[in-house]
């Protein structure tokens, strides 16, 4: 009986949002919560789960296999596919969260992008920031969660580890593959690199 009630609840929620103009591709695969709030001109692709306390603004697209809970999505935001938006997250106007990105208890600023394979936790990200693929905010030291602050117009190169607590000031660039442990000053280039070793005419051992 409980299962039937849950199915009926989902059916009623889908009908409600369709009536309000939400575009759903495969509505039977999309799941809402009773307190879900959705604005105008929103598109939701198949296999999306929206948990409790989610507020979605206008002109938002949520792509397939994304999961949202206890978060605020402002206007003109694109999410997914395969994105996880965890509690305490705010995605500001025009921001973009791409595939295989997880964001927890963080703010992603206006027109900022986190497009691929990235974890953002306990962070404040400013306007027009680009976070490269494979970036990790190292927010947990085994005892407490620490905060990362990334100011406006920062470019984070791919495969970077940002070890919190950390502040990266406005207009700075983080070189790809870096482990950043100290604050970065405004309009600076910060990178950590070991020398590349090359052995000429190298022959692998044979079995």
Q: Nearest-CA neighbor of 164 among 193, 121, 127, 104?
A: 121
Helix H or strand E segment including 11? helix 2-19
Q: Are 85 and 69 in contact (CB under 8 A)?
A: yes
**The pair of three-digit structure tokens given for residue 69, joined into one six-digit string:** 């809970």
State the Cα–Cα distance between residues 55 and 93, nearest whole angstrom: 13
Annotated catalytic residue 116? yes
| Residues ≥6 apart with Cβ < 8 Å to 155 | 129, 130, 132, 172, 173, 174
Catalytic choice (14, 116, 147, 149): 116
Catalytic residue positions?
116
């Amino acid at each position: 009986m409980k299962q039937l009630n849950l199915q009926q609840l989902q059916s009623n929620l889908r009908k409600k949002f369709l009536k309000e103009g939400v575009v759903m591709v495969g509505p039977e695969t999309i799941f809402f919560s009773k307190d879900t709030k959705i604005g105008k001109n929103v598109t939701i692709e198949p296999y999306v789960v929206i948990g409790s306390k989610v507020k979605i603004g206008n002109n938002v697209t949520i792509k397939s296999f994304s999961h949202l809970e206890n978060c605020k999505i402002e206007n003109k935001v694109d999410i997914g596919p395969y994105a996880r938006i965890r509690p305490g997250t705010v995605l500001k106007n025009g921001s973009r969260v791409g595939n295989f990105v997880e964001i927890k208890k963080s703010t992603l600023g206006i027109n900022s992008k986190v497009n691929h394979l990235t974890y953002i936790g306990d962070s404040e990200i400013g306007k027009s920031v680009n976070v490269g693929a494979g970036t990790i905010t190292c927010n947990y030291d085994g005892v407490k969660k620490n905060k990362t602050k990334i100011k406006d117009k920062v470019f984070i190169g791919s495969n970077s580890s940002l070890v919190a607590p950390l502040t990266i000031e406005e207009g700075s660039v983080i070189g790809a593959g870096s482990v950043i442990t100290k604050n970065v000053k405004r309009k600076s280039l910060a990178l950590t690199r070991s020398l590349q070793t090359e052995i000429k005419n190298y022959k692998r051992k044979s079995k």
